[in-house]
């Protein structure tokens, strides 16, 4: 049993097969071509859209990279300027501190002088009052003449009135 080639057209149904294949190619071929064409157009549209999205993403990436580079440059500039800025700020704070310290010392000196003056006035008032009281007591107790007592009383009253004016 071997394989033989049968060339009889009717036995092999070559005519039927060729008719069926021709009909399939003619009828289904156009539908198949149109489906393939639609599929091809859909794929091309999708590729074009993908390509546009890619270009848009690439543009955004380039913009972001440019912003990143700009930010890096600004950071480096700030990093370079930071010591000088810090030194300037330090000097400003030290100057303000020195001015404030001087102002506080002057205020303390002024307040101390004012407190000293008030204390001196209080001591002076106390000494005057004490002296007048002692003088009055001495004059009243040691003078026993009637005429001199009345004139001394007037003098003491005059001193009292002068004392009130002086202490005010």
Give domain status of residue 3, yes or no.
Answer: no
**20-29, 63-72, 150-159: range with lowest mean pLDDT:** 150-159
Tell me: the pLDDT tens digits for 66-75? 999 999 999 8
> CA-CA distance, 156 to 115, in Å (whole number)?
32
pLDDT of amino acid 20: 83
Give domain status of residue 90, yes or no.
Answer: yes
Give domain status of residue 56, yes or no.
Answer: yes
**36-40, 68-72, 131-135: range with lowest mean pLDDT:** 131-135
> CA-CA distance, 18 to 24, in Å (whole number)?
10
Give domain status of residue 2, yes or no.
Answer: no
pLDDT of amino acid 44: 94
Q: Which domain holds residue 64?
A: 9-167
**43-52, 80-89, 99-108: range with lowest mean pLDDT:** 80-89
Report the candidate in 127, 153, 126 with the shortest Cα–Cα distance to residue 139.
153
Give domain status of residue 154, yes or no.
Answer: yes
Q: Count of domains in the chain?
A: 1
Give domain status of residue 23, yes or no.
Answer: yes
Determine the average pLDDT of the residues in 105-129: 87
pLDDT of amino acid 152: 66
Give domain status of residue 1, yes or no.
Answer: no
> CA-CA distance, 107 to 67, in Å (whole number)?
55
Give domain status of residue 4, yes or no.
Answer: no
For the chain, give the DSSP string: --------HHHHTHHHHHHHHHHIIIIIHHHHHHHHHHHHHHHHHHHHHHHHHHHHHHHHHHHHHHHHHHHHHHHHHHHHHHHHHHHHHHHHHHHHHHHHHHHHHHHHHHHHHHHHHHHHHHHHHHHHHHHHHHHHHHHHHH---HHHHHHHHHHHHHHHHHHHHHH-
pLDDT of amino acid 16: 79
């Amino acid at each position: 049993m071997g394989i033989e080639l049968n060339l009889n057209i009717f036995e092999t149904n070559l005519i039927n097969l060729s008719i069926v294949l021709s009909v399939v190619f003619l009828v289904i071929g156009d539908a198949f071509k149109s489906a393939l064409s639609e599929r091809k157009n859909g794929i091309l549209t999708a590729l074009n859209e993908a390509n546009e999205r890619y270009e848009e993403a690439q543009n955004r990436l380039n913009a972001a990279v440019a912003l990143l580079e700009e930010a890096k440059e600004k950071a480096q500039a700030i990093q370079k300027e930071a010591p000088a800025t810090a030194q300037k700020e330090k000097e400003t704070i030290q100057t303000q501190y020195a001015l404030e310290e001087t102002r506080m010392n002057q205020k303390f000196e002024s307040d101390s002088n004012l407190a000293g003056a008030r204390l001196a006035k209080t001591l002076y008032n106390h000494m005057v009052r004490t002296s007048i009281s002692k003088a009055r007591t001495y004059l009243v107790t040691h003078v026993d003449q009637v005429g001199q007592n009345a004139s001394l009383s007037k003098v003491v009253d005059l001193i009292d009135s002068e004392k009130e004016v002086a202490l005010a």
